[in-house]
Chain A
Amino acid sequence: MSSVRVIEVEHFEAWRAAARELLREGVAAGDVDFFSPSVQKSLFGGEDGDGGESDGGGGGDALQQRSVKGQGAVAQRRDTPTVPPNFIKYARRVACHRDEQRWNLLYRLLWRLTTAEPNLLHVAFDDDVRRFDLMAKSVGRDAHKAQAFVRFRRIETEDGEQFVAWHRPDHRILRLVGPFFSRRFKSMRWTILTPDESASWDGAALTYGPGAPASAAPAVDDLDEMWRSYYRSIFNPARIKLAMMRREMPVRYWAALPETQIIPEILAEAPARVAAMLKYGAAGTRAVSAAEFLPEARDLDSLARAAAGCRGCELCERATQTVFGRGPSAARLVLVGEQPGDQEDQQGEPFVGSAGEVLNHALAAAGLARDEVYLTNAVKHFHWEPRGKQRLHKKPPSRAISACRSWLEAEMAAVAPRVLVCLGVTAAQAVLGRDTRALKTRGVPFASEWCERTIITWHPAASLRARIDGERERIARELAEHLQVAAQA
């Protein structure tokens, strides 16, 4: 007659030592009952629904009942029982499970492996093996989530900076993941608190201590806000999959994750952000351009007529009319400004306002007649914003510049000038690209993709805006000088 032995174990190594001794004595699986010191039903188990957390099942109880007689005699004594390496690897995980029956399950498997069924672990459908697999999986997943969801918060102590995290795992996985954190955060001093126990690393050694409540860890970190900004920005508001998010990041972890605080907020913002994505063309609408409006005949008159109906960008909606280029197709010089202004928009002709007057003077000073040059703009519609009753000039958006490029290309092809003059930096950038630097190159001819001889000079309006004494005259004079250079280039 043998009675059931009752053995208390807390960690895997203790179980392993006890199991080894029991095997040596030939104690059958049914003749022993392991238990943990603080038998406590899992508070969190069962939530993720992947099984293994249910009670011991029929197996354990049945075996205890069968354990009364003679089982020990069946087994041979073994001094060095061998088991597959995978058993130890996964048993270590199962040992962290909160299921009270885990130790008994492990010993039952061990007994079966070392007596009659050395290949048992390959039979995935066996009830014990299946529970073992599911429990190992459940713990493995929990350990992985700890590696993912631990959030360190930096604090200043007398000994310098320290990082503290509070995390609530489903199982007792801290000792499984402790070494991972010490490899990863080697140069930091850190502590991870969980309700059951804690782990600390001082830069050299990993130690374990008692558990602690959430209130024992700092509640915030200086970087939380920055992290939340990132979280908000990397979220694609056009695809919302809350169920997916909750499945991978279960709500029970949220309290310790700073980013989850803004989830309601960023969901509320989502429609507005989608609208912005649409506006910037992320929606996949092909970029509209003026190219679709170009006529078959490419002489200046045909171009001008076709341009009157251009809808290549949204500027046409608020401008009075298209302001196309003016001048002879045989012109040696093409002068390009940025975009028409208020006067030009109303009259339908380029450079007719006060800036136009400055330009006329400069042309005359350079010995050029206005009707022998071709005058145009990078963008053919007036872009403005209301300021009281006035329509205030606004820099054209880059989409408009890009959309309008086809017109300028057609004009350049029709005129084929000897020299291209860009009036002002914004005009030059619109035509030549945003990397264009005007300061160094003003007045000096260079070759561009548009024309062998390209010159950047002042926009005539710059002279009007000048506030410093003498500036106005200097700009007007330089403009005239540069135009003269262009005329002779």
Chain B
Amino acid sequence: MDVRNKLEILADAAKYDASCASSGSKQARAGSLLGSTEGMGICHSYTPDGRCVSLLKILLTNYCIYDCKYCINRVSSDVPRARFTVDEVVRLTIEFYRRNYIEGLFLSSGIIQNPDYTMEQLIAVARTLREVHRFGGYIHLKTIPKAAERLTIEAGRWADRISINIELPTAADLVELAPEKRREDVDEAMGDIREEIDQRRDDRKAGLKPPTFAPAGQSTQMIVGATDSPDAAILGTATDLYQRHRLRRVYYSAFSPIPFADDRLPPASPPLVREHRLYQADWLLRFYGFKLDEIVTPAAPNLALDVDPKLAWALAHRDQFPMDVNRAPRELLLRIPGIGVRSVNRIVDSRRHRAIRLADLRKLRLPWRRVQHFVAAIDHLPRAKDLESEWLRARLGGNATGLRQLDLFEAARSAHSGEV
């Protein structure tokens, strides 16, 4: 089988991975001759599914000894198989990079022989790129659960980001669908990585110059909708991971890559909308100062699909609106539906110098149809009748066609920005 055939099979097998980020690494690797990372990732192309192509995202092999029910590469699947050699991956990465097709490499693998052996193969690719080719571009390695700690540590030495998939929201879900994987193993590996990152940070504070270790941090991916776990469990796990292991990102991946095939979701709600809502909620938790119990509650453990979580919160707390853009503190401005972090910064910056009027807000190009009901300015006050109206939700939320629109244009984008 030639390299091109292998590429077809092993890129195809990687297309289910949600992560495509290439950002977060600022420092240049000393002595590199080819490649750079400058903080912001670059999307070099877009495919007709609306997703960006930033990294050469491939599997080293899609052979796998495990039988995880949600995974197309499970041992019991009939999917065509292939395996790259280390050198083939290295050559492809270098040659693609030199033509400016990509930002770097995202390498993952099915598990062959045993976790340690597989991990050693992934490391060999990254090490060869760094040491032999003096490659300074972005490398994301997916670590293998149950691989020895020293291997995870070595991966971090060569990679910008390492990730380990948590796979499913709860330990019970894992038992059901991925019997060979255990939550404790994943947790332990994430803990090892976090400790190593902390260690380097402390060393730097102490004035030492420790060798690079995963400068873009660690991330994970969770499959959504394969089990009955509600959004509260998913976001709870994510919050826990952000806090305990300080992950940079948690990616949510709709169980079914084929829209409408997941019969556990109500037929009127495309599964991608749920994925989209989770990204929005994730963003609210990390950048908008929301607490988990403000977004999901035991009584309502799932996110609404018809409105975004910020709008849902506002509709449930109408007594706090309208928010006066000339007076309300920053953290409350962040709670206004339709106004993002950048617009809030502009408002806070400007209002110190002059009072904000309706015409000024218009210049920020906010989604005014939504925003108007929740803000007050010098010459604008929404009608109380509208804000209290039972119809407000229906007017602002999506109907069935609205959801389709959202699905088509926004879901993929939200994986990037999560802006709500």
- The contact string, 1 if C-beta is below 8 Å from chain A, for chain B 1-22, is 0011001110110111000000
- Contact of B300 with A by CB under 8 A: no
Please tell me if the beta carbons of B72 and A241 are within 8 angstroms of each other in the complex: no
Q: Considering only CB atoms, which chain B residue lies closest to A221 in the complex?
A: B99
**A244:B101 contact, CB within 8 angstroms:** no
Instruction: Considering the complex, give the chain B residue whose CB is closest to the CB of A225.
Output: B4
Closest chain B CB from A1 CB (angstroms) = 35
A230 is an interface residue with CB less than 8 A from chain B: yes
Q: Is A152 an interface residue (CB 8 A)?
A: yes
Contact B262 A284 (CB under 8 A): yes
Query: Which residues of B49-104 are within 8 A (CB) of A?
Result: 49-53, 56-57, 63, 65, 67, 69-70, 72, 74-79, 92, 95-96, 98-101
Roughly how many angstroms separate A119 CA and B354 CA in the complex, as a whole number? 11
Is B353 in contact with A123, judged by CB distance below 8 angstroms? yes
What string of 1s and 0s marks CB contacts (under 8 Å) between A397-409 and chain B?
1110111000000
A233 contacts B15, C-beta separation under 8 Å: yes
Bound CA–CA A273/B145 (angstroms): 31
Q: Confirm or deny: B360 has a beta carbon within 8 angstroms of a beta carbon on chain A.
A: yes
CB of B96 to closest CB in A, whole Å:
7
Chain B nearest Cβ from A109, distance in angstroms: 15
Do the beta carbons of A230 and B7 come within 8 Å of each other? yes
Q: For residue B262, which residue of chain A has the nearest CB?
A: A284
Cβ-neighbour of B258 out of A125, A259, A274 (below 8 A): A274
B13 CB to nearest chain A CB (Å): 9
Q: Is A153 an interface residue (CB 8 A)?
A: yes
B272 at the interface (CB under 8 A from A): yes
Interface residues of B in 368-415 (CB under 8 A from A): 408-409, 412-413
Q: Is the CB of A186 within 8 A of B33?
A: yes
Report yes or no: B67 in contact with A402, Cβ–Cβ below 8 A: yes
Tell me, rounded to whole Å, the shortest Cβ–Cβ distance linking A116 to chain B.
12
B98 touching A188, Cβ below 8 Å = yes
Enumerate chain B residues within 8 angstroms of A283, measured Cβ to Cβ: 256-258, 261
Taking a contact as CB atoms under 8 Å apart, the answer to whether A144 and B42 are in contact is yes
A241 engages B100 (CB within 8 Å): no
**Given A125-B350, A183-B36, does the pair A235, B258 have CB atoms closer than 8 Å?**
no
- Whether A244 pairs with B412 at a CB distance below 8 angstroms is yes
Which residues in chain A, 305-354, are within 8 Å of chain B measured between CB atoms?
none
Question: Is there a chain B Cβ closer than 8 Å to A83's Cβ?
Answer: no
B259 CB-CB contact with A under 8 Å: yes
Q: Are B48 and A241 in contact (CB under 8 A)?
A: yes
Question: Which listed residue, A124, A223, A233, A284, touches B346 by the CB 8 Å rule?
Answer: A124
Q: Is A249 in the interface zone, CB < 8 Å from B?
A: yes
B47 in complex: contacting residue of A151, A231, A278, A287, CB < 8 Å:
A231
Instruction: State how many angstroms separate the Cβ of A128 from the closest Cβ of chain B.
Output: 12
Given the complex of chains A and B, what is the CA–CA distance between A251 and B15 in angstroms? Answer: 24
B255 within 8 A of partner (CB): yes
| Bound Cα distance from A380 to B409, whole angstroms | 48
Q: Are A398 and B76 in contact (CB under 8 A)?
A: yes
A402:B4 contact, CB within 8 angstroms: no
- Whether B33 and A241, one on each chain, are in contact in the complex, defined by CB atoms closer than 8 angstroms, is no
Please, what's the 1-or-0 string for A245-259, where 1 marks a CB less than 8 Å from any CB in chain B?
A: 100110000000101
* Contact A242–B45 (Cβ < 8 Å): no
The A266-300 residues at the B interface (CB cut-off 8 A) are 266-267, 270, 274, 277-287
Closest to B96 in A: A227
Q: Categorize the interface residue count of chain B.
A: 35 or more
With A125-B360, A230-B56, A284-B256 known to touch, is A165 a contact of B48 (CB < 8 Å)? no
A44 CB to nearest chain B CB (Å): 19
B254 nearest CB across to chain A (Å): 9
CB distance from A393 to the nearest CB of B (A): 17
Q: Which of A122, A124, A180, A240 contacts B48 (CB 8 A)?
A: A240
Query: Please, which residues of chain A bring their CB within 8 A of the CB of B65?
Result: 433-435
**Distance A227 CA – B7 CA, assembled complex (angstroms):** 10
* Contacting residues, chain A, for B50 (C-beta < 8 A): 239-245, 248
Q: Which of B36, B48, B79, B134 contacts A266 (CB 8 A)?
A: B48
A185 and B75 contact, CB distance less than 8 A = no
A286-B255 Cα distance, complex, nearest whole Å: 11
Residues of A within 8 A of B408 (CB): 241, 243-244
Nearest neighbor of B40 in chain A, beta-carbon distance: A144
Contact with A along B168-193 (1 / 0, CB 8 A): 00000000000000000000000000
> Are B409 and A152 within 8 A (Cβ)?
no
A230 CA / B374 CA spacing, docked (Å): 47
Within 8 A of B (CB), among A382-402: 397-399, 401-402
Give Cα distance in the complex from A402 to B272, angstroms: 30
Interface membership of chain A positions 218-229, coded 1 if the CB is closer than 8 angstroms to chain B and 0 otherwise = 000101011101
Are A241 and B75 closer than 8 Å at their CB atoms? no
Contact (Cβ within 8 A) B48 A163: no
Report if A236 contacts B (CB, 8 A).
yes
Q: Given A125-B356, A234-B14, A244-B50, A282 and B257 touching (CB < 8 A)?
A: yes
* Distance between A239 CB and nearest chain B CB, rounded to angstroms: 4
Known: A245-B48, A402-B67. A234 touches B11 (CB 8 A): yes
Looking at the assembled complex, report how far the CB atom of B16 sits from the nearest CB atom of chain A, in whole angstroms.
7
Report chain B residues within 8 Å CB of A249: 45-46
Q: A147-B42, A284-B70, A401-B76 are in contact. Are A232 and B100 (CB under 8 A)?
A: no
Q: Which residues of A contact B255 (CB under 8 A)?
A: 284
CB-nearest residue of chain B relative to A244?
B50
Q: Which residue of chain B has the shortest Cβ distance to A130 in the bound complex?
A: B363
B364 at the interface (CB under 8 A from A): yes
Interface: A237 (CB within 8 A): yes
Question: Contact check: which of B16, B34, B363 meets A185 at CB < 8 Å?
Answer: B34
Residues of A within 8 A of B225 (CB): 284
Q: A153 CA to B67 CA in the complex, in Å?
A: 43
Whether B257 and A151, one on each chain, are in contact in the complex, defined by CB atoms closer than 8 angstroms, is no
Q: Which of B43, B48, B363, B409 has the most CB of A within 10 A?
A: B48
Let me know if A76 is at the binding interface, CB within 8 A.
no
Q: Collect the chain A residues with CB atoms within 8 Å of residue B352's CB.
A: 119, 122
Question: Hey, which chain A residues are within 8 Å of B52, CB to CB?
Answer: 248
Q: Is B204 interfacial (CB 8 A cutoff)?
A: no
Residues of B within 8 A of A184 (CB): 34-36, 137
Contacts of A402 in B (CB 8 A): 67, 75-76
A263 CB–B CB distance under 8 Å = yes
Chain A nearest Cβ from B79, distance in angstroms: 4
| Interface pair A280/B42, CB less than 8 Å apart | no
A149 within 8 A of B: yes
Kindly provide the distance from the CB of A147 to the nearest chain B CB, expressed in whole angstroms. 5
CB-CB under 8 A from A185, the residues of chain B are: 34, 98, 100
> B307 interface residue, CB < 8 Å from A?
no
Q: How far is the CA of A433 from the CA of B350 in the complex (A)?
A: 67
Q: How far is the CA of A219 from the CA of B314 in the complex (A)?
A: 55
Q: Do residues B72 and A281 form an inter-chain contact, with CB atoms below 8 A?
A: yes
Enumerate 21 A-B pairs (CB-CB under 8 Å) in ascending A order.
A125-B363, A149-B44, A152-B100, A184-B36, A223-B95, A226-B7, A227-B101, A230-B56, A231-B47, A233-B11, A234-B15, A235-B47, A235-B48, A236-B15, A238-B49, A239-B412, A248-B43, A280-B78, A283-B256, A402-B67, A434-B63
Q: Given A122-B352, A282-B256, output 10 extra A-B contacts at Cβ < 8 Å.
A: A122-B350, A124-B346, A124-B349, A183-B36, A221-B99, A226-B92, A233-B7, A235-B48, A244-B413, A399-B78
- Chain B interface (Cβ < 8 Å from any Cβ of A): 3-4, 7-9, 11-12, 14-16, 28, 32-36, 38, 40, 42-53, 56-57, 63, 65, 67, 69-70, 72, 74-79, 92, 95-96, 98-101, 113, 134, 137, 225-226, 255-259, 261-262, 272, 346, 349-350, 352-354, 356, 359-360, 363-364, 408-409, 412-413
For the complex of A and B, the 6 pairs showing the least CB-CB separation, nearest first, are A402-B76, A241-B50, A244-B50, A284-B256, A233-B11, A235-B47
